[in-house]
């Protein structure tokens, strides 16, 4: 369809009605349409539609679309902070866990905004995809999308620091000592969301740790004023880029759940179960 057809008030109302009845809606993809038009209206990639269907079936034939009528925001990938035109400060995040959260949310009936930082993966079917690069771009997109979201899952790995200055030309290697790169601290997006979120909104943050994982995770949970923190022990051959993941999830209510090593989509469903439970415990939600 054309973008205008998808955004027509009658279509919007009909889709909202379907979602309110528990129907899972896979939204159209963005791209080239008929003629010279470009926008939202394409059939999503069949492989990605299949991935959503497979995810829905994996939960069982009677599993409810318990995210129907909900708008969730998921961040994924790793930000890059430019040093010069060819170099950047970044991290190892592949975006696979964030994309798993997005796919499982679509399969459970949610309207999903996926904010992806430097991810080289196929676009998940049924999401509103926003591409960003730097931590400041991630912050701007996430704060805007989160304003009316029911839940925010901060699965992206934003760089904690960025170069204080950007060299407009490539920094050349010479016989002199290498240049000293001064760093400045990036904004803490999750903490900002925690300070300003609505009482009924569920905030899920992540902690990638290489030691003292539980203690550091509990400190981050309190600092960011989140509902849940997903703690991963990471390393060069652990979590980043892998197809599986294991985590400890700690709640602001003192609860703790261990999710053993499993597919990243299964782990995402385990966390969504906890998000749904938080809504159920809040009458105003």
Pairing label, strands 151-154, 202-209: parallel
Residues in the chain: 285
Q: Is residue 77 a contact partner of residue 142, using CB atoms and an 8 Å limit?
A: no
Q: Could you give the CA distance from residue 250 to residue 226 in angstroms, rounded to a whole number? A: 10
Q: Is 91 a catalytic residue?
A: yes
Helix intervals (H) in the chain = 3-7, 9-20, 46-58, 96-107, 135-146, 189-196, 213-224, 264-280
Q: Which member of 91, 118, 232, 245 is catalytic? A: 91
Helix intervals (H) in 147-202 = 189-196
Using CA atoms in the order 268, 273, 225, 216, what is the torsion angle rounded to 10 degrees?
-50
Q: Is residue 248 a contact partner of residue 213, using CB atoms and an 8 Å limit?
A: yes
Q: Is residue 163 a contact partner of residue 148, using CB atoms and an 8 Å limit?
A: no
Using CA atoms in the order 210, 212, 218, 220, what is the torsion angle rounded to 10 degrees?
-40
> In which residue are the tokens 């912050």 written?
139
Q: What is the CA radius of gyration of the chain?
A: 20
Catalytic residues: 91
């Amino acid at each position: 369809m054309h973008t205008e057809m998808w955004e027509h008030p009658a279509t919007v109302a009909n889709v909202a009605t379907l979602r309110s009845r528990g129907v899972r809606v896979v939204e159209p993809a963005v791209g080239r349409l008929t003629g010279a038009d470009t926008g939202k209206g394409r059939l999503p990639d069949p492989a990605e539609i299949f991935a959503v269907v497979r995810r829905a079936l994996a939960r069982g034939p009677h599993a409810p679309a318990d995210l129907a009528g909900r708008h969730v925001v998921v961040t994924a990938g790793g930000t890059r902070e430019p040093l010069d035109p060819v170099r950047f400060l970044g991290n190892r995040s592949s975006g696979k866990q964030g994309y798993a959260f997005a796919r499982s949310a679509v399969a459970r009936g949610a309207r999903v905004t996926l904010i992806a930082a430097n991810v080289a993966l196929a676009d998940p079917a049924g999401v509103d995809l926003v591409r960003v690069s730097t931590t400041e771009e991630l912050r701007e997109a996430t704060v805007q999308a989160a304003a009316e979201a029911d839940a925010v899952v901060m699965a992206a790995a934003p760089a904690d620091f960025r170069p204080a200055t950007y060299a407009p030309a490539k920094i050349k290697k010479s016989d002199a000592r290498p240049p000293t790169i001064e760093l400045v601290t990036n904004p803490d997006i999750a903490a900002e969301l925690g300070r300003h979120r609505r009482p009924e909104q569920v905030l899920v943050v992540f902690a990638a740790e290489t030691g003292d994982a539980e203690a550091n995770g509990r400190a981050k949970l309190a600092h960011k004023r989140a509902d849940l923190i997903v703690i991963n022990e990471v390393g060069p051959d652990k979590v980043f880029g892998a197809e599986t993941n294991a985590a400890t999830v700690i709640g602001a209510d003192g609860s703790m759940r261990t999710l053993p090593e499993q597919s990243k989509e299964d782990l995402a469903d385990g966390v969504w179960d906890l998000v749904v439970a938080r809504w159920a415990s809040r009458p105003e939600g």
